Amino acid sequence: MTYYLIAAVGFIFVFGLVVLVHEGGHFFLARLNGVEVKAFSLGMGPTLISYTPNETEYQISLIPLGGYVKLAGEELTEETDNPRAFSNKSVWARISILVAGALCNIILGFALYMPLGIFHGEEILPPKIGFINQDMPAYGELQVGDEVLALNDKRINRFQDITVQNSLLGDATRKFLVLRDGEEKLVEVEPYRVENRSVFEPTHLVGISPYMPSVIGWLGEDSPFKELGIEEGDRVVRIGDQDIESWQLLTRALFANRGDVEIEFLQNSDLVSARITIPTDDAEWQQWVHQLQWGPPVEQKRYGLIGSLSFAARETNQAIRLLFQGLWGLLTGRLSPEGLAGPVGIIGVTGHMATVGFWPLISFAAFLSINLGVINILPIPVLDGGHIMLSIPELFGRRLPPRVFEIANTIGLVFLLGLLIFVTFIDLSRFEFLAGLGRGLWSWLTGWI
């Protein structure tokens, strides 16, 4: 129950903040340009709370998936004598009002990344392979200890770059340029396509994990390891007959070796050995691992005020770049639309991030705000970018006929509704029961089995 409550609060917080800033941008620029604002709403649908202190009605509506600012004369196809109507303002004034929402979303993302960099920072994971799943394509091709220099000609500086680049490659062969034993090698890997994945999983995998040394980064006060004399900073080098080269191998060795097992570790350059009893029953083993109260050493880099500006600029730039690379991948067919997330998927991710922690939620809110801002400014009719596109002829002294606006808006509305239905179906297909229901309904409608 607590999980769903936290998820719901996190979702309302993120969407409320993103919508408030977006619509606030439109509202502020409209007022600045002397446009009459009739309504400012957070949420869509039936009004829950309404307050009208002046000409503007401020309201909170039932459905927390958007919002709107209603301007006098916002339909350019209708003529009005109201001097404060949106349609009677100069083209530059109208464009500034339309751009303001998206710009404020991008600024919000940047602003959220700053405290994230100062108070939470980022994990620094070197681009070194620490584990390879033997059931995945990379097994036998890449090796533990390989340092990835580039992936499909994209320079790699940290392991997170591999994750990002992999998400943009679709079905393409992964071409890893690695440093192995002092020599550069080009290794090609065919990715594994993930079927029936959740919204949290990537569409393609190769089966590698980042390198983390088998060093005890931290230990709880009641950890059984302390009874063996193991201390923070010790490096585990062997469990049973298995040499340990990374943290992932260490955790897997604890699962593979059960019963009375010898463990060897380096402590202050001295090789120390001890015997440990690992439960043979899987349920007892899970409880035992939980009682270990331990973790690997992970470098968490935090930034000062000036450094946080650079961090925020880098993350904002990467979010925008990833969006356009993803759109290009979809247009060229390199990326599958199965990787898209619609409203249901975004709600799920937002709620999940809220349960993970405050700073992961802030990071996702920043990423989501930037993405929504950029998408909103794309030249698609009905969106702000589409309205701007249709206003451009006025810069050259000619306003398009009302019929053009009507046709463009109709096309844009049909496109967006179709896209919404499509991505919502993708979201729902990730739920097995709903996927089966959808397949059955489709078979019934089309007569195919």
Same domain assignment for residues 131 and 158: yes
Residue 419 maps to a domain: no
| Among the listed residues 150, 68, 119, 178, the one whose alpha carbon sits nearest the alpha carbon of residue 359 | 119
75-79, 259-263, 280-284, 384-388: segment of lowest average pLDDT: 75-79
Alpha helices in 304-401 (DSSP H): 305-332, 343-356, 358-376, 384-391
Mean per-residue pLDDT for 207-213?
88
Same domain assignment for residues 275 and 174: no
User: What element of type H or E holds 68?
Assistant: strand 57-71
**CATH of residue 257:** 2.30.42.10
Q: Ranked by mean pLDDT, which of 189-203, 299-313, 327-341, 344-358 comes out on top?
A: 299-313
Where does the pLDDT of residue 439 fall: very low under 50, low under 70, confident under 90, or very high at 90 and above?
very low
- Residue 277 predicted with pLDDT over 50: yes
Residue 288 maps to a domain: yes
Number of domains the chain contains? 3
- Residue 375 predicted with pLDDT over 80: yes
Pairing of strands 242-243, 235-239: antiparallel
Percent of the chain with pLDDT over 90: 33
Same domain assignment for residues 7 and 110: yes
Residue 354 maps to a domain: no
Half-sphere exposure (Cβ direction) of 98: Cα atoms closer than 13 Å = 26
Residue 11 maps to a domain: yes
Write down the pLDDT at residue 170: 83
Q: 359-363 long-range CB contacts below 8 Å, 24 or more apart?
A: 359/116, 359/119, 359/120, 361/10, 361/13, 361/14, 362/112, 362/115, 362/116, 362/120, 363/112, 363/113, 363/116
Same domain assignment for residues 96 and 8: yes
Write down the pLDDT at residue 43: 87
Same domain assignment for residues 126 and 116: no
Which of these three, 211, 242, 262, is where a domain ends? Answer: 211
| Among the listed residues 368, 377, 427, the one whose alpha carbon sits nearest the alpha carbon of residue 19 | 368
Same domain assignment for residues 49 and 10: yes
Same domain assignment for residues 44 and 149: no
Cβ of 368: how many Cβ atoms within 10 Å? 23
- Residue 198 predicted with pLDDT over 90: no
Which of these three, 168, 186, 211, is where a domain ends? Answer: 211
- Report the chain's mean pLDDT, rounded to a whole number: 85
Integer distance in angstroms from the first to the last C-alpha of the chain? 39
Same domain assignment for residues 205 and 234: no
Residue 275 maps to a domain: yes
Q: Where are the beta strands (DSSP E) in 206-309?
A: 208-210, 218-219, 235-239, 242-243, 259-267, 270-278, 294-295, 299-301
Reported as a single tens digit per residue, the pLDDT across 394-429 is 888 888 887 888 888 888 888 888 887 877 777 666
| Distance, CA of 211 to CA of 382 (rounded, Å) | 47
Mean per-residue pLDDT for 278-298?
82
Same domain assignment for residues 100 and 139: no
Reported as a single tens digit per residue, the pLDDT across 57-95 is 999 988 887 889 999 988 777 778 888 989 889 999 999
Same domain assignment for residues 11 and 69: yes
Residue 77 maps to a domain: yes
Which of these three, 249, 274, 297, is where a domain ends? Answer: 297
Write down the pLDDT at residue 177: 95
Same domain assignment for residues 111 and 144: no
Q: The tokens of 30 are what?
A: 């409209």
- The phi and psi torsions of 80 (rounded to 5 degrees) equal -150, 150
Residue 152 maps to a domain: yes
Reported as a single tens digit per residue, the pLDDT across 41-67 is 998 888 899 999 888 999 998 888 788
> Coil, strand, or helix at residue 183?
strand
Q: Which domain holds residue 251?
A: 218-297
Task: Choose between 33 and 402: higher pLDDT.
Answer: 33
Residue 347 maps to a domain: no
Q: Where are the beta strands (DSSP E) in 109-182?
A: 122-124, 129-132, 147-151, 154-155, 174-180
Write down the pLDDT at residue 24: 95
User: DSSP code of 142?
Assistant: B
- Residue 449 predicted with pLDDT over 70: no
Mean per-residue pLDDT for 103-124?
94
Same domain assignment for residues 19 and 56: yes
